[in-house]
Amino acid sequence: GIRYFVLGSVTDITEETNSGGGQVKTSMFSVAAGQSIASITLHLRVIDTTTGLVVYSKRLEGTLVGKSLNLGVHYAGIGVGGSKSVRTQLGNAAQKLLDKCAEDIIAITS
């Protein structure tokens, strides 16, 4: 049968983008670099099904920092632009956190 229940709850999700990486601008185009920071916090519990006791409880946080690039073209008073994140920071932070959870669960249930 099942020996352990694994319960988790996400308690915080934060994603920030800062454009303080510098900018180059002319009359026709602009290029700016930035930074993105993503973090996820969760509370993980492992419960022994035979005793009902919580055998593990921990608050875990995953944070990643990445770079972003913003481009713009300006012509005849019209501007078009876009941005590209080098990584999907929130997804990467979530994966990093889930990997840590899996390692912890394996360590306590082995």
| Beta-bridge partner residues of 68 | 34, 85
CA–CA separation, 86 vs 12, rounded Å?
23
Which residue range is the domain that position 12 belongs to?
Answer: 4-109
Each residue's pLDDT tens digit, 66-84: 777 677 777 666 666 665 5
As averages over each run of 10 residues, the pLDDT of the chain (110 residues) reads 90 78 69 79 92 92 77 67 60 82 84
Domain count, the chain: 1
Largest CA distance in the chain: 73
Reported pTM: 0.57
The whole-number pLDDT of residue 50 equals: 94
